[in-house]
Amino acid sequence: MAIPLNPMALQARSSINNLADARMWIESFPRPVGFNTYAWETTKKLALQVWRCHFEGRAFQRTLNFMHPSFYDMIRTPEGVALVAERMVRKHVN
């Protein structure tokens, strides 16, 4: 399933302008308590793939269902704009 990009993310100004900045943004999130290292590294890699698609202007080609709440912050700009169309993402509810 392809998840389309959020058109607003392509138009809005962001403090993240390249993949290196995106990697630093993702790495700024601490591993949640109870989340094992492998699962957290996998989550961060998935977030980086979303950012890569954003910079390349193409849809994300995997599903994003019920990830840890921190993940959804990773795929937003620091200014709060979601990179993917949020209506296409089934979020984990606490």
The 10s digit of each residue's pLDDT in 34-91 is: 889 999 999 999 999 999 999 998 887 877 776 788 888 999 999 888 888 776 666 6
- The pLDDT tens digits of the residues spanning 18-39 come to 999 999 999 999 999 988 999 9
Take residue 5 and report the two structure tokens written for it. 């990009």
Assess if residue 93 is contained within a domain.
no
Q: Where are the beta strands (DSSP E) in the chain?
A: none
C-beta of residue 50 within 8 angstroms of C-beta of residue 83: yes
Whether the predicted pLDDT of 17 surpasses 80: yes
Assess if residue 94 is contained within a domain.
no
Q: Looking at residue 29, what is its pLDDT? A: 96
Residues sharing a CB contact under 8 Å with residue 49, sequence separation 6 or more, in sequence order: 60, 62
C-beta of residue 42 within 8 angstroms of C-beta of residue 71: no
Higher model confidence: residue 72 or residue 13? 72
Q: Looking at residue 15, what is its pLDDT? A: 85
Assess if residue 19 is contained within a domain.
yes
Give CA–CA dist 69/66, Å, rounded. 8
Whether the predicted pLDDT of 16 surpasses 60: yes
Assess if residue 73 is contained within a domain.
yes
Q: Looking at residue 67, what is its pLDDT? A: 75
Question: Number of folded domains in the chain?
Answer: 1
Q: Is this structure's pTM higher than 0.85?
A: no
Range of the domain at 74: 7-88
Assess if residue 61 is contained within a domain.
yes
